[in-house]
Amino acid sequence: MSDKEWNGVILNDLSPEWGERVIFLPECGSTNDEARRFAFKGASDLSVVLTEHQTSGRGRQGQPWLCPAGEGLAFTLIVRPKEAPTLWSRFALAAGLAIAEGLDSFGVSSGVKWPNDVWVGGKKICGILVEADSGFVVVGVGLNVNVKAFPNGLSHPATSLALELGEEISREEVLISCLRRLELRLAQIGSDFEELLDAWSARCVLNGNNVRLDVGGITRTGHVAGVSPQGELLLQTATGIEKILQANEIRILD
């Protein structure tokens, strides 16, 4: 199978340049790790590393991301931002919003959960892992498309497009829809970020909820008041607004 094809679909149809940017690997450990390797070798901006089977996928905090071969999407974009590194933390929000928007055309109403998940009906359908290096960022996406069953012991309930819609969906069509939205939203972390943040906030499943967070082993509870321009969660507590940049776990309280 060539780099321009995936299950018979010509990704070059996406736009004049995309076909030259797709790097297809039948199997790999982690698309993020492979994307970093290709980035160091000079892969161009918005190159896509796509695999049929990811054997060592991971999420935030090194948590494993499992998806049966042929049932989900695992891919990573290489981004070479023009914006200053101080703005790169916004990529997680941009990517989550883009994936949620990419699912709209399939009749699924999805929301974003800070900092990097996409949820449908209170269940996780997609995880995003953004990692930065010198001069580039890799944006990894793990999306449950036609997954029918999930392992026991997941930290959050999971779902897939197939489970939500009652039928299997073309993974190729889902990929193309998501790539189109990613190209648009990832370009908005600079001067257009206010527009992006408004759209993200409208989908945020945490807004207005009381939550409990594990922040470096310390439990924080409070009311979600939004997200800052730097991508921090704004948590209203008894002592005022706390800005949370990273959290190991976030639970919505009843």
Q: Indicate the domain borders of the chain.
A: 5-203, 210-252
Task: Classify burial at 215, counting beta carbons within 10 Å of its beta carbon; exposed 0-12, middle 13-18, buried 19 or more.
Answer: middle
Q: Which CATH class is domain 210-252?
A: mainly beta
The three-class DSSP label of residue 92 is: helix
Q: What is the pLDDT of residues 192-250, one digit of tens each?
A: 999 999 999 999 999 989 999 988 888 999 999 999 888 889 999 999 999 998 887 88
Whole-number pLDDT of residue 66: 67
In angstroms, the Cα distances linking 64 to 37, 87, 112, 142, 154 are 20, 27, 20, 11, 10
| DSSP count for the chain of H helices, then E strands | 6, 14
Please tell us whether the domain made up of 5-203 is placed in CATH 3.40.50.720.
Answer: no
Whole-number pLDDT of residue 149: 85
Q: How far is residue 4's CA from residue 237's CA, in Å, rounded to a whole number?
A: 51
* Percentage of the chain lying above the pLDDT 70 cut: 86
Cis ω for the linkage preceding 157 (within 30 of 0): no
25 or 4: whose pLDDT is higher? 25
pLDDT grade, residue 79 (50/70/90)?
very high
Beta bridge partners of 224: 235
